[in-house]
Amino acid sequence: MKLQSIMLPGISVQRPFIIAGPCSAETEEQVITTARGLSSKGVKVFRAGIWKPRTKPGGFEGVGIAGLPWLQRVKRETGMYVGTEVANKNHVFEAVKHGIDILWLGARTSVNPFAVQEIAEALKVSGFDGPVLVKNPVNPDLELWIGAIERIYNEGIRRIGVIHRGFSTYDKKLYRNLPSWHVPIELKRRIPEIPLICDPSHIGGKRELVAPLCQQAMDLNYDGLIIESHCSPDDAWSDKEQQITPDILSYILNMLVVRETKQTTENLMQLRQQIDEIDAELLSILSKRMRISREIGQYKKEHNMPVLQTVRYDEILADRIAQAEKMDIGSHFMKIILEAIHEESIRQQIEVLNK
């Protein structure tokens, strides 16, 4: 695949590329307040669901076309880019007509080849030239995910990225949607040029999982994050348990450790060099300790004393293990090390004795 960048002018090329905003656009005020909060924290791309695929009828299915002018207002007043989910061709035409910058296909859409094909053709007909993001299908079917990407690509769309939102399961234990990280990692191996964005909100389904999932995505070299953020999460009309305020979002982003690939190998080399030096020191200290053991062996020989003195050994064990605990070294590990050193020490003393 020959893909083009999904980056937008004015956005830092440094990882992570951030998209944030409410699960759903609810009211004009909620949209504007959330967008202002996010913009003040430096977020440049705003998300809001306009058409919401809800699991059961009767749930909030989005405000529909009425919400598109609110997103236009966000663009006008904050200068942010705006993005929303499209699930059929009418959504594409309306979104394009209202100047939406980024479009994505939801998990319930990318699972359906007919819907993806219809959207791909609508994207082409409408001349949309912004980034198109393809969420993973609800089931962990990598070929289906790649198939959806290819359908978009085959209609001439070149600015394509993917969103990993996890996979639906019957049992909801820790996660709302199982991350199954190996699936997006394999996708990236098959299409290395495709930008990979993590959606920690839908994977975790809970506020407290957003931060660790963001960090995990960064550690796995993801390019971006799409995070649900709401000015008043407890009052959200959809996905309230997983939405976080712009303040919390900003805190989480500031705490993220983003390790750059190149730097990591350089740092790793330096760290490995330090390990080599410390191991050399350890060896020389051990050999010094053994030399002293042999001197003790010599003394014991001359004074006709037994090599093993259990009281002294018990004292050493108790004292060193207590010291180790203060230094954050596990007592079990310390005991094994001391036993090994002691064994070697006894062996060397017996050698001296038998000379």
Q: Which residues contact 341 (CB under 8 A, 6 or more apart)?
A: 286, 289
What part of residues 188-217 is at the interface with ligand PEP (CB under 6 A)? 202
Q: Which residue's CB is nearer to Mn ion, number 6 or number 23?
A: 23
DSSP class of residue 95 equals H
DSSP class of residue 244 equals B
Q: Which residue's CB is nearer to ligand PEP, number 58 or number 306?
A: 58
Nearest to 16 by CA among 30, 6, 2: 6
Smallest distance, ligand PEP to C-beta of residue 165, A: 4
Q: Helices (H), strands (E): how many in the chain?
A: 13, 10
Write phi, then psi, for 195 (nearest 5 degrees). Answer: -70, 140
8 Å CB contact between 107 and 55: no
Rounded Cα–Cα distance for residues 80 and 15 (Å): 18
Residue whose C-beta lies closest to ligand PEP:
106
What part of residues 279-308 is at the interface with Mn ion (CB under 5 A)? none
Other beta carbons within 10 Å of 264? 11
Of the listed pieces 105-113, 139-147, 302-310, 314-322, which binds ligand PEP according to CB under 6 A? 105-113
Of the listed pieces 1-9, 20-28, 280-288, 293-301, which binds Mn ion according to CB under 5 A? 20-28
Residue with tokens 């005020």: 29
Of the listed pieces 86-94, 100-108, 206-214, 229-237, which binds ligand PEP according to CB under 6 A? 100-108
Per CB under 6 A, the list member of 23, 63, 148, 187 interacting with ligand PEP is 23
165 in contact with ligand PEP (CB under 6 A): yes
* Beta-strand pair 167-168/177-178: antiparallel
8 Å CB contact between 209 and 203: yes
Per CB under 6 A, the list member of 18, 43, 74, 107 interacting with ligand PEP is 107
Across-strand partners of 47?
83
Q: Which does 107 bind (CB under 5 to 8 A by kind): ligand PEP, Mn ion, none?
A: ligand PEP
Per CB under 6 A, the list member of 106, 131, 200, 204 interacting with ligand PEP is 106
Q: Which does 223 bind (CB under 5 to 8 A by kind): Mn ion, ligand PEP, none?
A: none
Residue 303: in which H helix or E strand, if any? none
| Cα within 13 Å of Cα(63), Cβ side | 19
Of the listed pieces 155-163, 233-241, 290-298, 319-327, which binds Mn ion according to CB under 5 A? 233-241
The footprint of ligand PEP on this chain (CB under 6 A) covers a number of residues equal to 9
Per CB under 6 A, the list member of 98, 135, 151, 230 interacting with ligand PEP is 135
214 in contact with Mn ion (CB under 5 A): no
176 in contact with ligand PEP (CB under 6 A): no
8 Å CB contact between 227 and 249: yes
26 in contact with Mn ion (CB under 5 A): no
Q: Which residue's CB is nearer to ligand PEP, number 163 or number 191?
A: 163
Smallest distance, ligand PEP to C-beta of residue 316, A: 59
Write phi, then psi, for 241 (nearest 5 degrees). Answer: -65, -25
Per CB under 5 A, the list member of 164, 239, 253, 293 interacting with Mn ion is 239
Can you give the C-alpha Rg of the chain in angstroms? 30
Q: Which residues contact 201 (CB under 8 A, 6 or more apart)?
A: 23, 210, 226, 227, 228, 239, 242, 243
Nearest to 123 by CA among 145, 146, 143, 148: 148
Q: Which does 165 bind (CB under 5 to 8 A by kind): ligand PEP, Mn ion, none?
A: ligand PEP
Q: Which does 184 bind (CB under 5 to 8 A by kind): Mn ion, ligand PEP, none?
A: none
Q: Residue length, the chain?
A: 355
Terminal-to-terminal C-alpha distance of the chain: 75
Smallest distance, ligand PEP to C-beta of residue 155, A: 21
Q: Which residue's CB is nearer to ligand PEP, number 24 or number 293?
A: 24
Q: Residues interacting with Mn ion, by CB under 5 A?
A: 23, 239
Interface residues toward ligand PEP, by CB under 6 A: 23, 49, 85, 106-108, 135, 165, 202
